[in-house]
Amino acid sequence: MNRVDYLRISLIDRCNFRCQYCLPEGAELDYILRQELLTHEEIMTLLKEVFIPLGFSKFRLTGGEPLLRPGIVDLVTDIASLPAIEDLSMTTNGFLLSSLAKDLYQAGLKRINVSLDSLNADTFKTIIGHKKADLWHQTWLGIQTAYEVGFDPLKLNVVVIPGVNETEIEALAALSINKNWHIRFIEFMPIGNAGLFSDRAWVPSEEIREKIRQKWGLIESNIKGNGPADVFKIPGAKGTLGFISQMSECFCDRCNRMRLSADGWLRPCLLNETGQIDLKKLLRNGIKTTEIKEKVAQLLVIKPDINYKQRDSGNDTGIYNRTMSQIGG
């Protein structure tokens, strides 16, 4: 079991997209009231007095869509200023990035991942649930702007959807050839929308690799990330190709992360809610941070069993109670 030193922090559960793999079509969510979100100060307290003392040094800001969070640049500034931070990154859909990329970079954000599931504007509309609005070009502008202001390498996340965008695998992989862009192909996870696909649930990573291998060849890369991706590259390419295979190639034994939801729930596993702790409630009830740290430390001890429990038992009872946007991805 890897040392757990990576925390994904959801800043907000709202999003300006309604991606098929994140929100079921037609679903209406009960969004968290603003006063129920962890505040700026509460996030900083948890980082300084709980997570960093427990050895966490890598942090990723997520959502919903984190760029919708009021005061996002100030929060990045404060987190980046903490001396124990080794890596601070963000996952975004990129739509608001063209106006915020420079400020985020100057605030100390070190890396950014942008979700881009298609290079076709019409396919993009279908995936993100906005069939009437053309949002692809604004998203693409955000990606270009982020790269121009200094986010290098830039990562693009691609959820491969059967029958929707799997014909674009080669085109998306080609983005890594001439620029230092890291493309991450992610197997669909049936969270929040398990009945999305009729033919098959996901495209296995090995099938994706084989398509790329047949066109250009594929070699292992010596560049490794903080997460579970198996990293390869097209020979001679400037960037890399990562494959996150949570469905076909279980990587629980390599998991080094915890997740903190926007309303303060600490989850040890994306697919299992066993052991989760309501940190916001503890803070607002005046529990000392030394006691909160001890509770989190105890959860770290049992985390390996929580990961394997769901995978081994095949019992889904008690999991998937929230959609991906509510969990924080």
Tens digits of per-residue pLDDT, 232-253? 999 999 999 999 877 767 667 7
DSSP state of 114: E
The answer to whether residues 251 and 192 touch, using CB atoms and an 8 Å cutoff, is no
Q: Does the pTM of the predicted model rise above 0.85?
A: yes
| Cβ atoms within 10 Å, residue 37 | 23
Residue 52 exposure: Cα atoms within 13 Å on the Cβ side: 17
Q: How far is 241 from 219, CA to CA, in rounded Å?
A: 10
pLDDT given for residue 183 in this prediction:
98
The answer to whether residues 169 and 185 touch, using CB atoms and an 8 Å cutoff, is yes
Q: How far is 107 from 123, CA to CA, in rounded Å?
A: 34
Tens digits of per-residue pLDDT, 146-156? 999 999 989 99
Tens digits of per-residue pLDDT, 76-123? 999 999 999 999 999 999 999 999 999 999 999 999 999 999 999 999
Q: How far is 306 from 271, CA to CA, in rounded Å?
A: 9
Query: Structural domain boundaries of the chain?
Result: 6-327
* Mean pLDDT, rounded, of the chain: 87
Q: Give the long-range contacts of residues 71-76, CB within 8 A, separation 24 or more.
A: 71/40, 72/11, 72/100, 72/104, 73/100, 73/103, 73/104, 73/107, 74/40, 74/107, 75/11, 75/40, 75/43, 76/104, 76/107, 76/108, 76/109
pLDDT given for residue 327 in this prediction:
57
Please check whether the domain covering 6-327 is classified as CATH 3.30.200.20. Answer: no
Q: Would you mind telling me the total number of residues written for the chain in this entry?
A: 329
